[in-house]
Amino acid sequence: MVEMRRAHTRDAYGRALVELGRRNPNVVVLDADLSTSTKTAMFGKEFPERFFNVGITEQNMMSIAAGLATCGKTVFVSTFAVFATGRAFNQVRQSIAYTNLNVKIVATHGGISVGEDGASHHSIEDIALMRVLPNMTVVVPADAIETEQVIFAVAEKPGPVYVRLCRPPTPLIYEEGYKFRGQPLKYELGKAVLLEEGSDVTILATGILVYEALEAAALLRKKGISAEVVNVHTIKPLDEELVEKSARKTGAVVTAEDHSIIGGLGGAVAEFLCETYPVPMARVGVRDVFCDSGPWEELLAYYGLTASGIADAAQKVISSRGVVR
């Protein structure tokens, strides 16, 4: 077996921000005393004039970002996901989403892969909170390489965007230059990426669960099951065309995410499919509980956010489809 390559999505963010700063003097960055963790400090070091560390004032930071955006700035704001979306929810809603302003909320430390810091720092509801806001685009890159693509793409897209990154160094599924298994790809917001074709079940995954989904497909293959694997990096707007096409093809869908099964990718897909093409479905994610502290990979395993968790769910939906059909 080849050794797994890993990288931090937030390192990729920090580097991309610096590059953006060089390209575009209108880019400004705000942070709330977490810049060494979110990696916005890299931007701050190179562009101190355009970097505002406003102290531990997340709510204030969101509204300042809005004010800067009204003056034509492309504003990136960063803090941990749980604070960006929960602590400052009303500010994001009132000052950024309602106003449709050009603010990119790039939050790190999404999901339970935050690990040892525990439930106060786990972000299991951020995707749901951001997804429900009109005007908001919601993006969860699958790895560090995709993160770079996402940051450049959202900088070009007018309006509010939420980008969710994570804490630990996570497995790379892409190769340098945004290639998948040697094949060069073109990143497009809102267009999910069909990574593996299959015919028995569709696995729609986002963020760090995309890697697990690919592993799950390998496990299933050994059992003679052909799984289609899709990286749904943009949760809103959902790539409805691809989701429906794949659901029609396989007749069984599993979603997988490092987030609550309520309101995130699983929620989005269920809402969409039940109105268009209902199929048996299973959601892999945090099952409406606050999770414990622990090493992140052990945590993911403990709560079933793994390749085997996904593979089990896939087998279940396939068998329930058998009954339905």
Partner 1 sequence: MPIINNKHEPHTEELVKRLEKLAKKFRREILIMTTKAGSGHPGGSLSAIDVITAIYFHQLRHDPSNPKWEDRDRFVLSKGHACPALYAVLSELGYFPKDEIHNLRRIGSILQGHPDMVKTPGVEMSTGSLGQGLSAAIGMALAAKLDRKDYRVYVMLGDGEINEGQVWEAAMVAAKYKLDNLIAILDRNRYQLDGYTEDFLPLEPLAEKWRSFGWHVMEMDGHNMKEILDTLDEAEKVRGKPVMIIAHTIKGKGVSFMENENKYHGKALTPEELEKALKELEDPEDDEPRG
Q: Are strands 137-139 and 161-164 parallel, antiparallel or unpaired?
A: parallel
Number of residues that bind partner 1 (CB under 8 A): 30
Tokens 């959601």 -> residue: 283
Identity (one letter) of the amino acid at 163? V
Among 35, 74, 78, 91, binds partner 1 (CB under 8 A): 91
Interacting positions 259-318 with partner 1 (CB under 8 A): none
The answer to the question of residue 226 lying near partner 1 (CB under 8 A) is: no
* Cβ 58 to partner 1 shortest distance, Å: 9
Report d(CA 301, CA 303) in Å as an integer. 5
Say if CB 165 and CB 107 are below 8 A apart.
Answer: yes
Among 64, 81, 238, 291, binds partner 1 (CB under 8 A): 64
Report d(CA 195, CA 213) in Å as an integer. 10
Residue number, 29 or 209, with CB nearest to partner 1: 29
The answer to the question of residue 28 lying near partner 1 (CB under 8 A) is: yes
The answer to the question of residue 157 lying near partner 1 (CB under 8 A) is: no
- Exposure class string for 247-261: b at 16+ Cβ within 10 A, else e: beebbbbbbbbbbbb
Among 49, 176, 275, 288, binds partner 1 (CB under 8 A): 49
Closest CA to 104 of 76, 131, 133: 76
* Catalytic, out of 49, 58, 146, 241: 58
Residue number, 46 or 298, with CB nearest to partner 1: 46
Interacting positions 65-84 with partner 1 (CB under 8 A): 65-73
The tokens for 121 are: 């720092």
Please identify, among the stretches 11-19, 58-66, 121-129, 290-298, the one whose residues bind partner 1 according to the rule CB under 8 A. 58-66
Residue number, 69 or 145, with CB nearest to partner 1: 69
Among 24, 36, 90, 319, binds partner 1 (CB under 8 A): 90
Please identify, among the stretches 2-10, 52-60, 184-192, 235-243, the one whose residues bind partner 1 according to the rule CB under 8 A. 52-60
Active site residue 298: no
Contact positions vs partner 1 (CB under 8 A): 28, 49-50, 52, 54-55, 57, 59-73, 90-91, 93-95, 98-100
* Residues labelled catalytic: 58
